[in-house]
Amino acid sequence: MPVKSPTRRSETSQKTVKVALAGCPNVGKTSLFNALTGTKQYVANWPGVTVEKKEGIFTYKGYTINLIDLPGTYSLGYSSIDEKIARDYLLKGDADLVILVADSVNPEQSLYLLLEILEMEKKVILAMTAIDEAKKIGIKIDRYELQKHLGIPVVFTSSVTGEGLKELKEKIVEYAQKNTILHKMILNYGEKVESEIKKVERFLGDKKVRINLRYFALKYLSGDPEFYSEGVKLGLPELSEEERIGYRLLIAKRKREYVESVVKEAFANAGSKSLSLSEAIDHVLTHKFLSFPLFFALMYLVFKFTFDIAQVFSDLLDLLFSQLGSAVVSTFGENAFTSLISDGIIGGVGSVLVFTPNIFAMFLALGFLEESGYLPRAAFVMDRIMEKFKLSGRAFMSLILGFGCNVPSIMATRAIDDPRERLVTVLITPFISCSARLPVYLLILRIFFPESSAAMLFMIYSLSILITLLSSVVINWLFYRGRTSPLILELPRYRMPTFKNLYIYTWNRGKHFLKKAGTIIFVSAILIWVLSYFPSGGDIENSFSAMIGKSLEWIFKPFGYSWKIVTSLFYGAVAKEVVVSTMSMLYGFEEETFLGAKEALSAEMDPVSAIAFLIFVMAYIPCFATIATIYSETGSLKWTLFSIGYSFAVAYVLSLIILYTGKLVVMLI
């Protein structure tokens, strides 16, 4: 497999070091990344794909260290897109060295991954994280033994206490200056495998293959699809499936044995009974029967926190924007310009921004659950339920990201190695209620259900999960048959989240909402104001928006919605927050604060139709960004159109059923 040689660095860039951060999921890789880079990080996409990559920069002793956080992966196979991205970057990228992050308490799987990277003949530093926790539970690690067996620098670190971070930076600079790899990893796989490796190496020697020949041979023999097909193309003999499986098992077995021998030599008291507290908590939280009510209770608390704790700050913002809009009108008088500023920009964008505290509160609560180690347990617990819906806990991990935004949630499906499960997860993700819908929920619930808002919010989110799961059954029934693959998940230890990690988690997700308010919502607000102000000079009833809403009113005739609500739903297809900003302009909320919204919407909807409206908003067509992501990830116009049509049909039928059933119940009562 011909691979380009790394570009020679110019003299002026000699003090820049590019470092790849690799590791298994849940070993503290992100915490180490944050501890090293702080806030000096940015997110982009990997070339040619839409999976996000996180890069951070820090300086040390005159060197600029560019840190690339690779996707967390248990191995460097080819079954999932995350594995492919990590392996391709390590093989073909321009990193000067690799930091392999390993958990000091559970190092086995990390060391297995390390062996794979060492076989690529890369410069590697082993960073053993959570050393403070290992010490607490009595685990002693012999650094000398580790370095002797692995032949690479080993640094003990803790992102909580900061231990080892300076030493790690020192090692990066020191090791990057060396022109040679300290130790070439040559693990003996036994006579049979070694004999075949030598044959392949001899054959490849004349083929100008620039990847390490031994690494190529190991991958070819174990039947890795990419290397095997490339080897056959170059002229290597075809192997039967039985032979490939046989070699694969022998190679994996030898690696496991070597890892076990290293752990035995270098670790003392590994698996200490001091872990009993964590195990005791697990016994309850992952219990066969208790785990489900506990999961739903925790989720309810998340929404209780989202609504109750943050509401006071939302009310203050509401008052601020209201007074700001009134001040503009009273200062400059009533004209088209002040209408644009007060009604369009302050009213439109402000009506969305007032929910910022609620959204940050939700991410703070979810961040606490994730940083503490509970969410992976939730995936483990939900795996039993997900299986009944033709999904697995891996899909749950992707779906739960959708509470923030559906776009990264869809991207996260790249970690799912089964193509069928991945496609189904992509198609059902828009039903997970993202933060963009939250402003709509909060506005309507405050008006119609002020005393039970948190409980109603919890019910809406629960219903969104139920529709998501049922949609998986429907799509599988329509297009696929088969079983899900089993979930393999290494559960992290419970940790008390640090303030810094919670801050980074909450800010990184919440700022997405603020960015949208400053871009999509801002532009939409101006555009909607123009469409609502002209051609009648401010007469809403004869505006372009009214024409649009009235022309579509027939579609929602069974719901009894006015053209203003229909127009809000129409504009909301761009981004769900726009539903609120459109209502704000059409009803003039900003002039009379929240009471104005309550008075206007109460005149058009009763509690039953309000619920039906919320369910429609929850399920109807994905926003533009999500539609674009679905198309990008599936590469199919057919599946993209299916997602739009299916979600609209589900929203329409479901909200109609809820509307008429609710009215019937009210009549009977």
**DSSP per-residue string spanning 395-455:** HHHHHHHTTT-HHHHHHGGGG---HHHHHHHHHHGGGS--GGGHHHHHHHHHHH-TTSHHH
Least reliable range by pLDDT among 30-39, 270-279, 408-417: 270-279
The Cα–Cα gap between 315 and 312 comes to 5
**420-472 pLDDT per residue, tens:** 888 999 999 999 988 889 889 988 998 999 888 888 988 999 899 899 999 99
**pLDDT above 50: residue 73:** yes
Q: Count other C-beta atoms under 10 Å from residue 638's C-beta.
A: 8
Helices within 519-623 (DSSP H only): 520-533, 544-552, 563-571, 578-587, 593-602, 607-619
pLDDT band at 396 (very low <50, low <70, confident <90, very high): confident
**pLDDT above 90: residue 657:** yes
The pLDDT assigned to 7 comes to 42
The mean predicted confidence, pLDDT, of the chain is 84
**pLDDT above 70: residue 84:** yes
Angle at 200 between CA 195 and CA 202, to 5 degrees: 95
**pLDDT above 90: residue 569:** yes
Residues 80-94, mean pLDDT to the nearest whole number: 84
Calculate what percentage of the chain has a pLDDT beyond 70: 90
The pLDDT assigned to 4 comes to 40
The Cα–Cα gap between 334 and 350 comes to 19
CA neighbor of 346 nearest in space, from 321, 313, 318: 321
**219-266 pLDDT per residue, tens:** 999 988 888 998 899 888 999 988 998 999 999 999 999 999 999 999
pLDDT band at 1 (very low <50, low <70, confident <90, very high): very low
The pLDDT assigned to 212 comes to 85
The pLDDT assigned to 430 comes to 93
The pLDDT assigned to 219 comes to 92
**pLDDT above 80: residue 483:** no
The pLDDT assigned to 220 comes to 92
**pLDDT above 90: residue 651:** yes
Residues 556-572, mean pLDDT to the nearest whole number: 92
Q: Count other C-beta atoms under 10 Å from residue 346's C-beta.
A: 25
Per-position DSSP letters for 108-174, written without gaps between them: HHHHHHHHHHHTTT--EEEEEE-HHHHHHTT-EE-HHHHHHHH-S-EEE--TTT-TTHHHHHHHHHH
Q: Cβ contacts of residue 263 below 8 Å, gap of 6+?
A: 107, 108, 111, 270
**pLDDT above 50: residue 2:** no
The pLDDT assigned to 270 comes to 53
DSSP-derived pairing of the beta strands 154-156 and 267-268: unpaired
pTM of the full structure: 0.71
The pLDDT assigned to 3 comes to 38
The pLDDT assigned to 50 comes to 47
The Cα–Cα gap between 413 and 559 comes to 36
**158-175 pLDDT per residue, tens:** 988 889 999 999 999 988
Least reliable range by pLDDT among 344-358, 560-574, 615-629: 344-358
Q: Which residue in this structure is represented by tokens 């020949």? A: 213
pLDDT band at 8 (very low <50, low <70, confident <90, very high): very low
**pLDDT above 60: residue 277:** yes
pLDDT band at 647 (very low <50, low <70, confident <90, very high): very high
Residues 634-648, mean pLDDT to the nearest whole number: 92
Least reliable range by pLDDT among 120-129, 260-269, 487-496: 487-496
